[in-house]
């Protein structure tokens, strides 16, 4: 009987260890320097820390289809090790951002213009939805399936998403 108790305790400890290791690996790793310079970068100055690809949004006409402009580690190498990234989501009237997940980070969505119907499904299959107005913020928990939809047939919507990872991933 003592052997069975030992075995149960051992397996409980083993499973707990795997869970802890998985949690530790879930976020961006800490870096040991102020910033990480990619091998192909020879000069580090203010330009390295500046992302200019969002300039296309200024005074631009609304897109005709759903569009995402990303500032993640792939587009902005200075984010490597920073544990943050950013997206601008443009929703023409009546367009969705289909169901998806971000396995490496939660998403904090700020609605700048228009209205959006948003929601996510938790691990018990419970659906949480909300209709956002300009100025509202909604959080999508890490790894949960979520969506956004501009149900307005005439007014486009514009949202900004922030992530707690330099590479939140999209599935």
Residues 64-123: pLDDT tens digits?
999 999 999 889 999 888 889 999 999 999 999 999 999 999 999 999 999 999 999 999
- For range 21-40, the mean pLDDT: 67
Terminal-to-terminal C-alpha distance of the chain: 47
Q: Which of 43, 113, 35 is nearest to 77 (CA)?
A: 35
Q: Which of 69, 161, 146 is nearest to 107 (CA)?
A: 161
Q: What is the pLDDT of residue 39?
A: 87
Copy the structure tokens of residue 65.
Answer: 């289809």
156/21: higher pLDDT? 156
């Amino acid at each position: 009987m003592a052997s069975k108790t030992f075995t149960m305790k051992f397996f409980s400890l083993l499973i707990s260890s795997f869970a802890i290791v998985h949690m530790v690996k879930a976020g961006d790793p800490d870096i040991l320097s102020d910033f990480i310079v990619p091998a192909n970068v020879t000069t580090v100055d203010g330009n390295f820390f500046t992302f200019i690809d969002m300039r296309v949004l200024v005074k631009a006409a609304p897109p005709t289809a759903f569009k995402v402009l990303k500032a993640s580690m792939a587009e902005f190498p200075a984010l490597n090790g920073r544990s943050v990234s950013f997206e601008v989501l443009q929703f023409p009237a009546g367009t969705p951002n289909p169901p998806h997940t971000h396995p490496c980070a939660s998403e904090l969505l700020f609605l700048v213009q228009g209205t959006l119907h948003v929601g996510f499904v938790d691990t018990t299959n419970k659906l949480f939805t909300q209709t956002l107005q300009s100025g509202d913020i909604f959080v999508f928990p890490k790894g949960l399936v979520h969506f956004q939809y501009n149900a307005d047939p005439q007014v486009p919507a514009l949202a900004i998403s922030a992530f707690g990872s330099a590479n939140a991933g999209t599935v």
